[in-house]
Amino acid sequence: MISAILHTTFLTSDLTRSRAFYEGVLGLRPDLKRPALGYDGVWYDVAENQQIHLMLLPDPEAGLQRPAHGGRDRHVAFAVADLDKLTERLEQAGIAYTLSSSGRRALFCRDPDQNALEFIECVA
């Protein structure tokens, strides 16, 4: 039985561009303790025992038409403490986003490789 999601992996065709998004916009820091693999990539710690893994590989879906709203596409959802702060960072970086149509405090955006990301405000 599944008890947790330990990491999610995104393919990137441009690791430098993706790192600028995940590090510069989202504020993640690389996990330097991860072992080197046989291909370029980077790991980010998100929370205890939860990570994002970027792998530098050709995009097998290049040219695929993605839905305008990330909630209508396969996506991963992340908890954030301050949705307004994230919104400001996305706007400063010129990254388009859409608000959740459910009425909850959430938004969807895409990373530089068009992977859909959802951010839900979860206040402790």
CATH for 70-121 (3.40.50.10070, 2.40.50.140, 3.10.180.10, 3.40.50.150): 3.10.180.10
pLDDT mean across residues, the chain: 90
Render pLDDT for 81-119 as a digit per residue (tens, 0 to 9). Answer: 999 999 999 999 999 999 998 889 999 999 999 999 999
- N-to-C CA span, the chain: 27
Q: Would you say residue 124 has pLDDT above 90?
A: no
In the chain, DSSP assigns E strands to: 7-12, 41-47, 50-56, 75-80, 97-99, 106-110, 116-121
* Predicted local distance difference test score (pLDDT) of residue 11: 92
Ordered by start, the domain boundaries in the chain are 7-56, 70-121
Instruction: State residue 66's pLDDT score.
Output: 87
Fold for the domain defined by 7-56 = 2,3-Dihydroxybiphenyl 1,2-Dioxygenase; domain 1 (3.10.180)
